[in-house]
Amino acid sequence: MDRYVITEKKIGEGTDDVFYKAHDLVTNETVAIKKIQDDDGIPTQAFRQIAMLEIPHRNMVRLKNVVYNGEMLYLVFEHMDLDLKTYMDSCPDFAKDQHLIKRFLYQILVGVAHIHSHWLLHRDLKPQNLLIDHTNALKLANFGLARRFDIPVRAFTPQVSTLWYRAPELLLGLPFYTTHVDVWSVGCIFAEMANQKPLFPGVTEIDELHKIFSILGSPTEETWPGVPQLADFKSNLAKCPAKDLATVVPGLDPAGIDLLSKMLHLEPHGRITARGALDHDYFKDLEF
C-alpha cells in the first residue's frame, strides 16, 4: 500500500467497507480504494467482487489491484467521478435530456448483457451502483451480491437487491431465478431516470408489492401461471388494474414506453433479456 497516497477519506461507505480516493505513485493515476476490515475473516462479498471483476469489460468498473496485509484487504479500483444517483440529484433538468437517458440505459444494458453471457447475476443494480466519469461513460460496480448461475437453476435467497429495485418474483419468494431479476432492476432505473424519482419506493416488502401492482396490475393465474403457489403470495393483496405506463412515465416516447413495459413484465419468463433490449427500436437513433 506504500504506492498509494490517500487524498480523500470515506467517499463511500458500505456495511463492511469504506472507500478512499487515492493517488497511485507508480502510475500517477487517481484511484478508488475499498478498505475491508478482517475482524472475523474476509467477507464473502469481497471474494465475489474479485471473482466477478476477472471478466473485464468497458462497462464494468476495473479492479486494478488487490492488497492484503493480514489485517486489512484493499481493493484498488479505477476512479470514477460519481454515481448515477448523485448525478441525477445534481442535475434538476436531468429527466429532460432524453438522449443522455438513452445513452446511460444502453451502457447499463451492455454491461448487464456481458455479465449474463458469463453466467453471472449482479443482483443489486441501482443508481448508487452505477458509476459515471467525466465523459459520461457508465460502469457497473459493487458486485458484493453477485452470483454465478447454472442450468438447471439452483435455489438462491430471494433477499437480494435493494427493495425499490427488487423484482416481484423475489418479493413473492420464488427461490429459482436467473437473469430476469437484473432486467427488472434496470427497468426500475430506466423509469427513475425518466421521472427523476423512484418508480416503486416501497417501505416494506408488502408495500413494495402494492406499489408495483398499483401500476402494473395484480397478477393472476392467467397472467402469471403458478403465482398463487409462490411462498409469499397473499390472496388478500389488493386487486389492482394496470395503468397506462405512458401516464406514469410521461417523459418517454412510445418506443421508450414499449421497452419499459417489456423490462417490467410481471411474469419473469415474459420479461425481455438485456441482449434483446439492446436491439429494441428505442435505441435505433442512438449516437455516442
Residue with cell 478482517: 38
Work out the widest C-alpha separation in the chain, in whole angstroms: 62
124, 207, 244, 258: the catalytic one is: 124
Q: Residue 39 has what DSSP assignment?
A: S
Q: Residue for cell digits 397473499?
A: 234
CB 196 within 8 A of CB 100: no
59 with 186: CB under 8 angstroms? no
Looking at beta carbons, which pairs linking 243-251 to residues 24 or more positions away fall under 8 Å? Answer: 243/214, 243/215, 243/216, 243/217, 245/215, 248/191, 248/199, 248/215, 249/191, 249/194, 249/195, 249/199, 251/95, 251/96, 251/98, 251/194, 251/195
The reply to whether 150 belongs to the active site is no
Sign, CA dihedral 102-105-107-113, equals negative
Question: Are the beta carbons of 126 and 75 closer than 8 angstroms?
Answer: no
Rounding to the nearest 10 degrees, give the CA dihedral for residues 188, 191, 192, 193. 130
C-alpha cell at 276: 434483446
Catalytic residues: 124
